[in-house]
Chains A and B, each alone.
Chain A
Amino acid sequence: MSTTATDPIRDYIVQEFLAGEDAADLTDDFDLIESTVVNSLGLVRLISWISETYGIPVDDIPLEPAAYRTLADIRRFVSEAAPAAV
């Protein structure tokens, strides 16, 4: 999976959680939770955004932080839950 500037999930995380910071380290396997880039409040925002952006019903959204640990994890879940959107 590429991490280009047109990647909406990466763009969202850079814009909302890393605004004004160097995002060069945000690779596909960068740990968003461990690094505290996404904290518990951020996780709620991230999940809400994914649900609304990709039209995934809240019943189909995993609520464990592990599902959102890395960009690769998030893309994997979104591509399974909303394959047409990714």
Chain B
Amino acid sequence: MAAENDTDTYGLTAPYADELNDDVTRWDRAGEFPHEKWKPLQRSGLFTLPFAPEHGGAGRTLTETMAALEGLGHTSRDAGLNFSASTQIVSVGIPLQAFGSAELRERYLPRVTSGEAITAHAITEPGHGSDVMNIRTTAVRDGDDYVLNGGKLFITNAPVADLFLLYVRTGKPGAFGLSTFLAERSTPGLTVGEPLDTMGLRTSPISEVTLTDVRLPVANRLGSEGAGFLIMDYVMKREVLFSFAVNLGEMTHRLKRVVEHATTRQQFGASIGKNQAVAHKIADMRIAVETARKWLYDTGRKVEQGKDASLDVAATKIVVSEANQLTARHAIQIFGARGYLTDTGIERELRNATAGSIYSGTNEIQRNCIAALMGL
């Protein structure tokens, strides 16, 4: 059986399993964000973990936060909710704590760490997905304000978010012309589109965000003008570690479920796990899960120590997302017709896993990054 994480934060959400797993199939069919399940996550303290105590945080480390998110993935069968929860921690809170002014931190972080304010960050644009260096949404300085115009697309949590972190262009083309701004949903000119219907992660709502003459004070800028790409680099490393730690927990649960099925399901007078064709698939699942675990926590420790982990983060994203897809495919095959039924939740896991090779920078872009980092 796959190893359990022995970090003390791992079991944080386990007491809320019944609430989190209530009617998951129905919520998935409806494609709606389950607001009522946000409350047990708030009560668990999950959203407080990596933040300073003076802002309502628990002051835990990056890897302790990863362990809690891994635990969430193991506990909760609602991968969409899990993804929204991970986004809640990383999208606004993490950059606000690291780069926000004292005034911004004091004003907004308590609402983020309590989960009272749901958060989103807006990077992707209709014409520029993973090509973030070419962000076109602009912010033009006008006295003590900036005026923002443009559009963002596929923004996780946007339909339910109260706070947005916006990555926009304030200067010249390229990386150092980007800046980052915090905006409340009620800001005039900020329009959130209807939720987009998706294949997987259906309870994690995504939509378009349009900015039309959105006026934000200079005080809402995080870091200096032009520091947006540095903030994004800092955030994306943690986004990969947090959201894919969730996947690790989901995979660990999946593997346990498959082993249980393979040892109890009888065919031709023996458990199906006695067939090498099945056993080898399960062995491959175990290898994929443990490889994902090693990459995730090795990279997490490297980031925690302030080391340059650019290549490691890209590789981790690829390894974990592809392990998630492989284990989900094998699970369906091993469960057979039962795996294909929506009520068992196995097919849902494959739909959910598909998103992982697309979000947070497609796996193709990650491979490009690795090649570039190797000097190719």
Contact B223–A44 (Cβ < 8 Å): no
Query: Which of A45, A53, A61 is close to B227, meaning CB atoms less than 8 Å apart?
Result: A61
Query: Which of B99, B175, B369 is close to A40, meaning CB atoms less than 8 Å apart?
Result: B175
Q: What residues of chain B lie closer than 8 Å to A64, measured between beta carbons?
A: 176
Q: What residues of chain A lie closer than 8 Å to B306, measured between beta carbons?
A: 49, 52-53
Indicate if B229 sits at the interface (CB-CB under 8 A): yes
Q: What residues of chain A lie closer than 8 Å to B233, measured between beta carbons?
A: 44-45, 48
Q: What residues of chain A lie closer than 8 Å to B133, measured between beta carbons?
A: 40
A64 to chain B, nearest CB (A): 8
Interface of A is mostly: helix
Residues 47-77 of chain A: 1 if any B CB is under 8 Å from the residue's CB, otherwise 0?
A: 1110111000011010111000000000000
Measured CB to CB, the nearest residue on chain A to B311 is A16
Q: What residues of chain B lie closer than 8 Å to A30, measured between beta carbons?
A: none
B273 to chain A, nearest CB (A): 45
Residues 169-185 of chain B: 1 if any A CB is under 8 Å from the residue's CB, otherwise 0?
A: 00000111000000000
Contact A44 B175, CB 8 Å, known A16-B308, A58-B99: yes
Indicate if A43 sits at the interface (CB-CB under 8 A): yes
Contact A48–B230 (Cβ < 8 Å): yes
Q: What residues of chain A lie closer than 8 Å to B333, measured between beta carbons?
A: none
CA distance A53 to B306 in the complex (A): 6
CA distance A12 to B308 in the complex (A): 9
Contact A63 B224, CB 8 Å, known A43-B175, A44-B233, A47-B230: yes
Interface of B is mostly: helix
A38 to chain B, nearest CB (A): 12
Residues 203-231 of chain B: 1 if any A CB is under 8 Å from the residue's CB, otherwise 0?
A: 00000000000000000000110110111
Measured CB to CB, the nearest residue on chain A to B372 is A41
B176 to chain A, nearest CB (A): 5
Query: Which of A40, A49, A58 is close to B308, meaning CB atoms less than 8 Å apart?
Result: A49
Q: What residues of chain B lie closer than 8 Å to A53, measured between beta carbons?
A: 306
Indicate if B234 sits at the interface (CB-CB under 8 A): yes
A-B contact pairs, 13 of them (CB 8 A): A40-B174, A44-B175, A44-B230, A45-B310, A48-B230, A48-B233, A48-B234, A51-B230, A58-B99, A59-B223, A61-B224, A61-B227, A63-B230
